[in-house]
Amino acid sequence: MPEKLEIDSGTPLTDIERHFRVVAGPGAGKTHWLVNHIKHVVARSKRLSPASRVACISYTNVAVNEILTRLSSAATQVDVSTIHSFLYRNVVRPYLHLLRDGDGQPLVAFASVDGHDEHHPSYAIFDEWLRNIGQAKILQRTFEVQRDILKDKLCHLVWRRSGDGTWTLGPRTLDRMGNMLNAICTSANLIHYKRRYWRLGIVDHEDILYFAHRIFEEHPLVCQCLSAHYRYLFIDEFQDTLPIQANVVQWLADAGTVVGVIGDAEQSIYGFLDAHPQHFLSFSLPDFLDVTMRHNRRSTGRIISILDHVRSDGLRQHCFRELDGQPVTVCIGDLDRSLAAIRADLPPDAILHVLTRKNKDAHRVRSALAPGTVEPWESLYDADAERARFMEHVIAATELASRGQYALAHREMIQIIGRRGRVRKPLKCDTELSDVHRKGIAVTVLQEFLTNHATIFASTLLEAYVRCGTCITAVYPAVTLTAARAGKFKTFAEATPYAYLSESVRLQEEVRHVRTIHKAKGSEGDNIAVYFEDAARVRHITHPSSAPADEEKRLTYVALSRARDRLFLCIPTDVAIKEDELNKLNLCVIDLREAL
């Protein structure tokens, strides 16, 4: 049994040479503690030398930058990065040449590999691959819908390893796949597809995990070398770990690296990325310390009481602020009435952050905060979410520029293009774009829409969409905009005036505090409102599940835990609830339905 220990965020571990796991709920000061522990190790360790370092892995680039900033001078002896960046720099880039195919040839054109990114299908490779595997039929116009689904699936392929050690490649999710796509998306076909990119030295994030796992297994000396360089490995947000990450921990610990992980299984919300809390719950290394942090430095006592009720692991947090605070408020009724009631309950200058589970609900909240925007944007997103996003950025940027806010306009317009050289749908480009080209495209479209604003304002949405594609391709022939030949988008865009959309566009400054729960992870706000879209989400509070697989409940928990001072729950009129169950939780229930 591991030794158990309770600490707060200001208490360092005295024994820096033992593996550890820190269980810490929301607001516990996990990052603060981790940074101080790393500084403590750098100052005291006798195992560090000029040739060795401390490794710290965090889940996002934002968190990486925050840790680096807080480390200050200690950062010179610490490598802080995401798991993909860590494995690419230390394992894949220097040792990729060791991986061979069945014929003894290099698995990847390793000399041409220059980084990794999200995968975006090349249209030339896509077409050639389909013809090569005898599936060219899907290239016919009749199967345009299935072809678009296939391209989306190819953007989210996942490597999986069975119990017998066999690797397979498949779509992350199997929704919307019929017989045709199932026949195309066999593991053998998809590996054949991947290898076409590998021959060009093009690899993506998922490939990095796959390559690293194989290098470690097939060449154990690599792990020994890595352990000699990194004498300590600390991983933040370990509840969001991937299978390869859990294996790396075990391999490096066996090779002599001191490993420490910190996280909270109740905040594991990335199951769709194959991240599972079980890796954190089952963490075990020889003679490791099992540490618990019970303080919550963020929320008031009443908010913490609800959080404790929803948790399924029995962890009860202490309110560090020693402030009971105001009751958690539940507003039952139409969204606009609920938001108005919440606003009336807050000081005039207070910022209200609203969190939703789904993007469409975030859109609904934005519409309620900026009246008049429900239509036609909701219909446009229902017709074609990718083209709707594209045109929303174009129109919002144009409106900002017309107000003289050119920096904001350019920042908005550049969102139509992908990052790191890859374009986003509905744009298409078979080559990588430099930052200069990305910015140039944004300026080109912005100038086109400002110069011809009167003409475009009097046109239809479809005409404006076509104009975008024409002006982009005229300046950058390699970049094209997917034509709207048929379908819901064309039907809607032909019948909808551009002016109708322009007059109701949701400018960022009006709705910047509305986000989905996934995007709010790691943030906090003084005043948080959570939109409960159905009765199932209400039951996460009234009858919280203890099932480890209930990720939806964990999403609700994460949303509630973002609040510092005030927490509001918005329940729509059509959601069936039992008010007496809410009252038992000492919530302040405001029923706005009778006012209708």
- Could you read off the pLDDT tens digit of each residue along the chain, which spans 596 residues? 789 999 988 888 999 999 999 999 999 999 999 999 999 999 999 999 999 999 999 988 878 888 999 998 888 999 999 999 999 999 999 999 999 998 899 999 999 999 888 888 888 899 999 999 999 999 998 998 899 899 989 999 999 988 888 999 999 888 888 899 999 999 999 999 999 999 999 999 999 999 999 999 999 999 999 999 999 999 999 998 877 778 888 999 999 999 999 999 999 988 777 778 888 888 899 999 999 999 999 999 999 999 999 998 889 999 999 999 999 999 999 998 999 999 999 998 888 999 999 888 887 887 777 654 445 677 788 888 888 889 988 988 898 888 787 887 888 888 888 765 677 889 888 777 777 888 888 899 999 999 998 899 999 999 999 999 999 998 888 889 988 888 888 999 998 888 888 876 654 444 558 889 988 888 899 999 999 999 999 999 999 988 877 899 999 999 999 999 999 999 999 888 888 888 888 899 999 986 44
* Whether the Cβ atoms of residue 317 and residue 308 lie closer than 8 Å to each other: yes
CA distance 152 to 174: 11
pLDDT digits (tens, 9 = 90+) for 1-11: 789 999 988 88
pTM of the predicted structure, to 2 decimals? 0.76
DSSP lists the bridge partners of residue 331 as 570, 590
C-alpha torsion sign, points 516, 522, 523, 529: positive
Question: The tokens of 546 are what?
Answer: 């203890």
- Classify residue 505 by burial, with Cβ atoms within 10 Å: 0-12, 13-18, 19+: buried
Alpha-carbon torsion (262, 263, 264, 268), positive or negative: negative
CB atoms within 10 A of CB 441: 24
**Paired residues of 24 in beta bridges:** 293
Predicted local distance difference test score (pLDDT) of residue 351: 87
Give dist(CA 231, CA 253) in Å, integer: 10
Sign of the torsion angle spanned by Cα atoms 344, 345, 351, 354: negative
CB of 92 closer than 8 Å to CB of 213: no
pLDDT given at position 506: 54
